[in-house]
């Protein structure tokens, strides 16, 4: 605990939608140990929290304030903030804040017609800020030529990433330098630094962030939230360290939710089930505000809905809708978990309609290798969607061989004849990774021979330290043991985009390689001066520079020692295109008709990542993501009552899979289609393990029920499954 440290506690809205008449904080202020209580009037100069990415016209007015103004719009919204000398005093004081609220009818259904949402503060604005539209090809001609039209409506429930660590932050203020330093989770430390500085109207260099090890990120943790800004502002106002950490209930109520999309799909197909055109509409439940991610979830859902299939014509309308629920944001594979579920449900339905199996219908529709690179004709996250490489048919063939498909089908038929409800399912996905525009890395060689890599990324459990060190070591031809990776320290490197969108290995890893190559060139230049030798006559090998065979070699450390300072080189990698890894989930499942329980008997992920820098790390990412995908498919859901009260605000009600529910995962890791757009050939591997989990599990449950197209909503909860079993 730091000297003079004070503790912050948030008083949150107890209702979903209400006009604020008054907030009575007198009893809280009078409690011994309380330093101050703020409401929105005390921070009226603070603007709304701005977008980090995916600015879409119409979303701006719906950004969140740090403390509620005029209205509260979801249960858990910050209304007031308490500062006290003791965390328990702060918690007690927050309970003594009494809001006088004029409760209003909550808007809870994102598919309802848009209605007034902020009637006084933003008159005339509705619960639908915008509709995101994308299209290519001649859809009218596709439907005119169709032998049949297949329609489908599906939905994915509301859930989110739940890291072991809840959110928290510590801010300090140094009056002499007028500098705020914040310690805590920050997957985008440089952005958060700039945003906090802008909101506090202070120069950027007077705000520093120290990220350390974030732990689980998953899209939800490390974004800029109201509490982060309040901690920094309070530290400066009070001139003392300020600490805040939330409890689990707060986390479930106030940190970003995700998913919660409904889809309406229409596919024009020929007599063989080949898709001629796809017409899609979806509704994203954004919650009460649009947070830092902007329209990212809807943008990615719209752009990647066609997946690995040809789909010559496509049109989509993505409705972003506001409701009186916790604001929604990104969660591992945002927009793709949902759209993959919807699309793969459609593909399975088409297979049943034309009477072919689920592998065959995919063979008929997959993009061929000869089509690569494949320009979709639409954009995602401001970049053109161009599939950089892929052998989609080959991966499907390898998966079928791996699971021994004919023998599997024979065995499942035998078990069904014996009375078991068993089946298998698959889900094919295309992911995105390596979002630009650039990353900067600085490599230092010190006189003791150790090497330090400084980067602006964050460590969110993806093994960034190991992977970056391996890339550097391989480029320099040295042992990895002496390499240290520094990340998330804004005082040490002037820019960095952080860790999100599965970008680190592609963007930062490529920058590390470029920096290491530049270091070799820099070392050769300095060695030529120190050895008084011709530069062309020097050669570099395994961390040493020599003038000729058998001549005494100069180590990188010797150069640093001779010049009296670190040997330093920088590398920047820039790209205006993402990479597109792809893969398939396979699930074998059994249904217990008495309990409506789903047992996953076998799980396989076939995944082409271009190049695996560290296969063990890649497999760890895949297995962890599968566990989260199973959670969203079978267990996890935020449910609200008719008044907008959350019914899953603890782990007693918000269910997650444990080690008992997650099977061993077989990973069929492939490197058959390296990316041609970065020097490593890599494609990100952080999200593919979750992307098609819901789709594959739904397909397996359909097969076990013996009726294609049955599962139209996730999660497959026991009450829903009982209904489907009864309807067989």
pLDDT at 53 over 90: no
| Residue 219 · residue 52 · CB < 8 Å | no
Same domain, 447 and 425: no
Same domain, 315 and 351: yes
Same domain, 142 and 189: no
- Report how many domains make up the chain: 4
User: Burial, 317: exposed, middle or buried (Cβ in 10 Å; 0-12, 13-18, 19+)?
Assistant: middle
| Residue 405 · residue 359 · CB < 8 Å | yes
In the structure, what pLDDT confidence band is assigned to residue 315 with cuts at 50, 70 and 90? very high
What whole-number percentage of the chain has pLDDT above 70? 98
pTM above 0.85, yes or no: yes
In the structure, what pLDDT confidence band is assigned to residue 728 with cuts at 50, 70 and 90? confident
pLDDT computed for residue 113 by the predictor: 81
Residue 97 lies in a domain: yes
pLDDT computed for residue 635 by the predictor: 98
**Last residue of some domain: 316, 349, 367?**
367
Closest-CA residue to 253 (of 228, 287, 219, 224): 287
Same domain, 129 and 149: yes
Same domain, 131 and 231: no
Residue 385 lies in a domain: no
Same domain, 624 and 649: yes
Instruction: Give me the helix-helix angle, 464-476 and 509-531, nearest 10°.
Output: 40
Closest-CA residue to 678 (of 580, 582, 574, 570): 574
Q: Please give the Cα distance from 187 to 501 (Å, whole number).
A: 11
pLDDT at 343 over 90: yes
| Residue 427 · residue 340 · CB < 8 Å | yes
Residue scoring higher pLDDT (463 or 411): 411
**Last residue of some domain: 551, 574, 597?**
574
**Last residue of some domain: 574, 598, 632?**
574
| Residue 415 · residue 404 · CB < 8 Å | no
pLDDT at 694 over 70: yes
In the structure, what pLDDT confidence band is assigned to residue 189 with cuts at 50, 70 and 90? confident
Residue 418 lies in a domain: yes
Residue 363 lies in a domain: yes
Residue 392 lies in a domain: no
Same domain, 310 and 354: yes
Residue 162 lies in a domain: no
Three-class SS string for 572-593? EEECCCCECCEEEEEEEEEEEC
**Number of neighbouring beta carbons within 10 Å of residue 296:** 24
Backbone angles phi, psi at 439, to 5 degrees: -140, 145
Closest-CA residue to 394 (of 367, 376, 374): 367
- Domain range for 638: 399-431+581-728
Q: Maximum CA pair distance of the chain? A: 86
Residue 382 lies in a domain: no
| Residue 579 · residue 686 · CB < 8 Å | no
Name the 3-class secondary structure at 460. coil
Name the 3-class secondary structure at 337. helix
What whole-number percentage of the chain has pLDDT above 90? 83
CATH number of the domain to which 650 belongs: 3.30.365.10
Of 100-114, 142-156, 289-303, 480-494, where does mean pLDDT reach its minimum?
480-494
Residue 635, CB-side half-sphere exposure with 13 Å CA sphere: 19
**Number of neighbouring beta carbons within 10 Å of residue 585:** 33
Instruction: Give me the helix-helix angle, 336-354 and 296-304, nearest 10°.
Output: 30
Start-to-end CA distance of the chain, whole Å, equals 61
Q: Please give the Cα distance from 25 to 233 (Å, whole number).
A: 20
| Residue 510 · residue 678 · CB < 8 Å | yes
Backbone angles phi, psi at 169, to 5 degrees: -160, 150
DSSP per residue, 233-296: HHHHHHTS-EEEE--HHHHHHHS-BEEEEEEEEEEEE-TT--EEEEEEEEEEE--SS--TTTTH
Same domain, 42 and 96: yes
Same domain, 265 and 314: yes
Tokens (6 digits) for 297: 């979830």
E strands, 253-412, are 258-269, 275-285, 314-321, 374-380, 383-387
Express each pLDDT in 193-246 by its tens digit. Answer: 999 999 999 999 999 998 877 677 788 887 899 999 999 999 999 999 999 999
Residue 386 lies in a domain: no
Cβ-based neighbours of 60, under 8 Å, separated by 6 or more: 51
Residue owning tokens 């009296």: 564
Name the 3-class secondary structure at 183. strand
Which H or E element spans position 607?
Answer: strand 597-608
E strands, 114-196, are 130-136, 148-159, 168-174, 179-184
User: Burial, 407: exposed, middle or buried (Cβ in 10 Å; 0-12, 13-18, 19+)?
Assistant: exposed
Express each pLDDT in 514-553 by its tens digit. Answer: 999 999 999 999 998 888 888 888 999 999 998 876 667 8
Same domain, 34 and 79: yes
For residue 229, what are the CA distances in angstroms to 173, 222, 417?
13, 13, 62
Following CA atoms 92, 94, 96, 97 in sequence, which dihedral angle do they give, to the nearest 10 degrees?
A: 180
Q: Please give the Cα distance from 304 to 386 (Å, whole number).
A: 11
pLDDT at 282 over 90: yes
Name the 3-class secondary structure at 426. strand
Task: Give the chain's mean pLDDT.
Answer: 94
Same domain, 265 and 337: yes
Same domain, 112 and 99: no
Express each pLDDT in 668-689 by its tens digit. Answer: 999 999 999 999 999 999 999 9
Q: Please give the Cα distance from 473 to 479 (Å, whole number).
A: 6
Name the 3-class secondary structure at 434. coil
Q: Please give the Cα distance from 232 to 49 (Å, whole number).
A: 14
CATH number of the domain to which 16 belongs: 3.90.1170.50
């Amino acid at each position: 605990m730091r000297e003079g440290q004070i503790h912050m506690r948030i008083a949150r809205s107890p209702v979903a939608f209400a006009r604020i008449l008054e907030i009575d904080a007198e009893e809280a202020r009078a409690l011994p140990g309380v330093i101050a209580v703020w409401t929105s009037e005390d921070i009226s100069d603070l603007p709304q929290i701005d977008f980090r990415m995916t600015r879409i016209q119409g979303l701006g007015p719906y950004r969140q304030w740090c403390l509620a103004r005029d209205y509260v719009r979801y249960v858990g919204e910050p209304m007031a903030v308490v500062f006290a000398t003791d965390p328990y005093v702060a918690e007690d004081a927050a309970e003594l804040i009494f809001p006088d609220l004029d409760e209003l009818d909550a808007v809870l259904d994102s598919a309802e017609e848009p209605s007034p949402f902020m009637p006084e503060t933003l008159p005339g604005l509705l619960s639908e800020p915008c509709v995101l539209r994308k299209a290519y090809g001649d859809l009218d001609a596709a439907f005119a030529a169709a032998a049949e039209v297949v329609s489908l409506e599906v939905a994915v429930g509301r859930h989110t990433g739940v890291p072991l660590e809840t959110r928290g932050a510590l801010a300090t203020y140094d009056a002499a330098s007028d500098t705020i330093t914040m310690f805590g989770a920050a997957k985008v430390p440089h952005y958060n630094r700039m945003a906090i500085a802008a909101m506090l109207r202070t120069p950027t260099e007077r705000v520093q962030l120290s990220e350390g090890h974030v732990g689980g990120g998953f899209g939800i943790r490390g974004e800029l939230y109201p509490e982060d800004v309040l901690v920094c502002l309070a530290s400066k106002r009070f001139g003392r360290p300020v600490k805040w950490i939330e409890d689990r209930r707060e986390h479930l109520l106030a940190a970003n939710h995700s998913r919660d999309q409904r889809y309406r799909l229409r596919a024009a197909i020929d007599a063989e089930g080949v898709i001629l055109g796809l017409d899609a509409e979806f509704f994203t439940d954004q919650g009460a505000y649009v947070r830092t991610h902007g329209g990212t979830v809807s943008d990615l859902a719209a752009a990647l809905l066609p997946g690995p299939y040809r789909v010559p014509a496509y049109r989509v309308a993505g409705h972003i809708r506001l409701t009186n629920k916790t604001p929604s944001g990104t969660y591992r594979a945002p927009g793709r978990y949902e759209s993959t579920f919807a699309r793969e449900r459609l593909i399975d339905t088409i297979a049943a309609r034309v009477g072919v199996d689920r592998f065959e219908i995919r063979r008929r529709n997959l993009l061929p290798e000869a089509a690569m690179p494949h320009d979709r004709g639409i954009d995602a996250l401001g970049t053109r969607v161009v599939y950089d490489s892929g052998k989609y048919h080959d991966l499907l063939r390898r998966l079928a061989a791996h699971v021994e498909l004919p023998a599997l089908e024979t065995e499942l038929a035998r078990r069904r004849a014996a009375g078991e409800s068993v089946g298998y399912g698959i889900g094919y996905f295309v992911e995105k990774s390596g979002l630009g525009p650039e990353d900067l890395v600085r490599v230092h060689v010190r006189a003791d021979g150790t090497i330090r890599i400084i980067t602006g990324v964050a460590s969110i459990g993806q093994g960034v330290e190991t992977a970056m060190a391996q890339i550097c070591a391989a480029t320099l031809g040295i042992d990895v043991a002496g390499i240290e990776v520094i990340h998330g320290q804004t005082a040490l490197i002037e820019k960095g985009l952080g860790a999100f969108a599965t970008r680190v290995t592609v963007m930062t890893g490529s920058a590390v390689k470029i920096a290491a190559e530049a270091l070799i060139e820099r070392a050769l230049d300095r060695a030529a001066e120190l050895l008084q030798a011709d530069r062309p006559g020097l050669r570099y090998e395994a961390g040493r520079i020599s003038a000729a065979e058998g001549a005494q070699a100069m180590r990188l450390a010797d150069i640093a020692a001779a010049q009296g300072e670190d040997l330093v080189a920088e590398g920047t990698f820039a790209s205006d295109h993402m990479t597109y890894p792809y893969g398939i989930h396979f699930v074998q499942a059994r249904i217990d008709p008495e309990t409506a329980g789903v047992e996953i008997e076998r799980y396989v992920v076939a995944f082409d990542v271009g190049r695996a820098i560290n296969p063990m790390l890649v497999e760890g990412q895949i297995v962890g993501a599968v566990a989260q995908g199973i959670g969203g498919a079978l267990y996890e859901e935020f449910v609200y009552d008719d008044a907008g009260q959350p019914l899953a605000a603890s782990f007693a009600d918000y269910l997650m899979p444990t080690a008992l529910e997650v099977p061993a995962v077989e990973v069929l890791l492939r490197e058959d289609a390296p990316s041609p757009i970065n020097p490593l050939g890599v494609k990100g591997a952080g999200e593919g393990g979750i992307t098609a989990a819901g789709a594959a599990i739904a397909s397996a449950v359909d097969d076990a029920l013996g009726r294609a197209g049955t599962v139209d909503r996730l999660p497959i909860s026991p009450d829903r499954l009982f209904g489907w079993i009864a309807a067989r």
